[in-house]
Structure 1
Amino acid sequence: MKKKVLTVFDDPGGGLAVTAAAEELRKNTETELTVYSGKLSKEIAEGAGFKYKEIESMISKETAEEIFRDTTPDLLLTGTGGGNAEQQFRNLAYRENTPSVVILDYWKDYKRRWLYSDHETGKIKDNICVMDDYTKQEMTEEGFPENKIYVTGHPYLDKIFNKGRKEFNQNAGDNLNILFLSQPLEIIGIKNYDIHPLKVLSESISEYSENSGRKVSLTVRLHPSENISGEISEVLNNHGNENYDIRLSESGDRMSGLLSESDIVFGYNSIALFEARAENIKTFSLNLFPIKDSLRNAFETAGIKPTEASKTEIINALNSGSVLMPEGNVFGGGINNCLNVITDCLYLSRH
Structure 2
Amino acid sequence: MKKIVFVAHDPGGYDAVYPVYEDMRNQMECQLFCIGPSANLNRKFAVRIDMVLGYLHDALKNDEVAVLITGTSWGNHTELDCLKLCQKYNVPTISILDYWSNYASRFRTDIGEHIYPDYYFVMDDLAKKEAIAAGVDEKILYITGHPGLDKFFNTKKTLQPRTVLKKILFLSQPLSSLYGNSLGYNEKTVIVDVINICRELGLKLNIKFHPKDLQDLKIKYRKFEVTGNLEEVLPSYDVVIGMNTMGLLHAVLMGARVISYQPGLKIEDACITNKLGLTKNILTAPDLRQILENVDINNRKNIDNFVWSDGYSVRRVIDKINTIFNARELYDRGNR
Query: TM tier, shorter chain?
Result: 0.7 to 0.9
Classify the secondary structure of the residue corresponding to 1:347.
helix
The normalised TM-score by structure 1 is 0.78
Pair 1:178 & 2:189 matched: no
- Equivalent of 2:160, from 156, 161, 169? 169
Alignment partners' CA distance in 2, 1:232 and 1:295: 29
The normalised TM-score by structure 2 is 0.81
Contact (CA 8 Å) 1:274, 1:304: kept in 2 or not?
A: no
Alignment partners' CA distance in 1, 2:286 and 2:171: 18
Q: CA deviation at 1:125?
A: 4.8
Pair 1:33 & 2:23 matched: no
Listed as ranges, the matches of 1:1-351 within 5 Å are 2-28=1-27, 31-42=28-39, 44-45=41-42, 52-56=45-49, 64-66=56-58, 68-69=60-61, 72-82=64-74, 83-116=76-109, 121=114, 124-157=116-149, 159-173=150-164, 176-191=166-181, 193=184, 196-207=189-200, 209=201, 215-229=202-216, 233=220, 236=221, 247-249=223-225, 252-287=227-262, 288-291=265-268, 295=272, 299-300=276-277, 303-318=278-293, 319-324=295-300, 326=302, 328=304, 331=308, 332=310, 333-347=312-326
User: Size of the alignment, in residue pairs?
Assistant: 317
Q: CA deviation at 1:203?
A: 2.3
Q: Which amino acid aligns with 1:33?
A: C
Alignment partners' CA distance in 2, 1:305 and 1:54: 40
Q: For the aligned residues, what is the CA RMSD?
A: 3.2
Alignment partners' CA distance in 2, 1:257 and 1:90: 35
Contact (CA 8 Å) 1:59, 1:84: kept in 2 or not?
A: no
Alignment partners' CA distance in 1, 2:112 and 2:205: 47
Q: Which amino acid aligns with 2:72?
A: T
Contact (CA 8 Å) 2:258, 2:297: kept in 1 or not?
A: no
Deviation string for 1:271-330 (max 9, x for gaps)? Answer: 222222232111111133444679367643xx3442224222442255214433635376
Q: CA deviation at 1:52?
A: 2.5
Q: Which amino acid aligns with 1:320?
A: D
Classify the secondary structure of the residue corresponding to 2:91.
coil
Question: What stretches of structure 2 of length at least 5 have no aligned partner?
Answer: 328-336
Contact (CA 8 Å) 1:218, 1:247: kept in 2 or not?
A: no
Question: What stretches of structure 1 of length at least 5 have no aligned partner?
Answer: 210-214, 237-245
Alignment partners' CA distance in 2, 1:185 and 1:117: 19
Deviation string for 1:199-247 (max 9, x for gaps)? Answer: 222222233x1xxxxx4101122211112447993xx5xxxxxxxxx94
Classify the secondary structure of the residue corresponding to 1:74.
strand
Contact (CA 8 Å) 1:265, 1:276: kept in 2 or not?
A: yes
Q: Which amino acid aligns with 2:260?
A: S
> Are the structure 2 counterparts of residues 172 and 27 from structure 1 closer, same or farther at C-alpha, using a change threshold of 3 Å?
same
